[in-house]
Amino acid sequence: MLDRSVDPVIRVRGLRNLFGSQVVHDDLNMEVRQNEIFGVVGGSGTGKSVLLRSILGLRHPDGGSIELYGRDVESLAAADRSSLVQSYGVTFQNGALISSLTVAQNIQLPLREHYLLSEHTLDELAELNLGLVGLEPETGGKFPSQLSGGMIKRAALARALALEPKLLFLDEPTAGLDPISAAAFDELLLYLHSQLRLTVVMITHDLDTLFQTCSRVGVIVDKHMISDTLDGLLENPHPWIHSYFHGPRARAAEKEIHG
């Protein structure tokens, strides 16, 4: 197993990603520390999802190094994929729940794969994880197609939490939710973050979520990443960052936080 107490949890250095001749990332550096909620923002097409896929070892980067818990993802993925997978949880943009399995079976899927558990225990764990994300036990018997958007996001989070990771990756967790569901999701995330002492990396476009939850934010601009606290980024003179954090939507979200 990986030593889960290493700090920083994620260290990306000099990352370079290409699509054909198009450079997406060039010398991108990123660091995520223990127990923080790190937001990743950037315009469309700046490679936020590509960055996530690189960190997860789903995409081979064209240059640079990525370390998870102080160990290189590339070599880890080859040698010890299962311990790597058990150290983080991921939710994908559209939930990516397996459509032919019920929600409970979706949650049990990684548990079944990695541990030898009795049916009774599996049922208990499904119920536990549903409870953690604030879903009713009855939801476990439903199929993903019977759930609302907000419930799908929660069910995906329950599945990501099933292996008790310390590190959580969320890809657009509040996209497509109504403001009330999105706010409830923010609250849930903050609660789980404090109770389970999770480190969270979150790709988001939702400014409210960003202001509510993130302790630090990395902005992908000009193929690099600029990481800072929200207050620091608000002062940043870079034109894209300035317009991102000082646009009409951002002002409204900020006003809400700072009164």
Partner 1 sequence: MSRTVTASLALEPEGAGWRLQLRGDWSLAAIPQIEAQLQSLPATLHGSLLCDWSHAEAPGIAPAWALLRRLADVEPEHPGVRHTGDPPHFLELLQKLQLDRRAPELAHAAPLTLPGLIGGLGRWSVLQGRHARGVLDFLGRIAAVIGQAFSRASAWRTSSLARHIYETGITAIPIVSLIAFLISVIVAYLGAQQLARFGADIFVVDLVTIAVLREMGVLLTAIIVAGRSGSAFAAEIGVMQLNEETDALRAMGMNPIEMLVVPRVLALIIVLPLLTIIADAMGLAGGGLLSLTNLHIPLPQFTTRLRESLGPTTFWAGLIKAPVFAALIAMVGTYRGMQVRDSARELGRLTTVAVVQSIFMVILADALFAVLFVQIGF
Letters for 169-188 (x = contact with partner 1 by CB under 8 A, - = none) are --------------------
Q: Which span (64-72, 194-202, 215-223, 243-251) binds partner 1, by CB under 8 A?
A: 194-202
Letters for 144-163 (x = contact with partner 1 by CB under 8 A, - = none) are xx-----------------x
Q: Which of 7, 27, 113, 164 binds partner 1 (CB under 8 A)?
A: 164
Q: Which of 22, 75, 138, 239 binds partner 1 (CB under 8 A)?
A: 138
Interaction of residue 31 with partner 1, rule CB under 8 A: no
Q: Which of 18, 60, 65, 115 binds partner 1 (CB under 8 A)?
A: 115
Interaction of residue 19 with partner 1, rule CB under 8 A: no
The C-alpha atoms of residue 174 and residue 43 are separated, in whole angstroms, by 17
Q: Which of 58, 196, 252, 257 binds partner 1 (CB under 8 A)?
A: 196
Q: Which of 21, 22, 75, 116 binds partner 1 (CB under 8 A)?
A: 116
Q: Which of 137, 179, 232, 247 binds partner 1 (CB under 8 A)?
A: 137
In the complex with partner 1, the residue whose CB is nearer, 86 or 213, is 86
Angle formed by the axes of helices 103-114 and 149-161, nearest 10°: 20
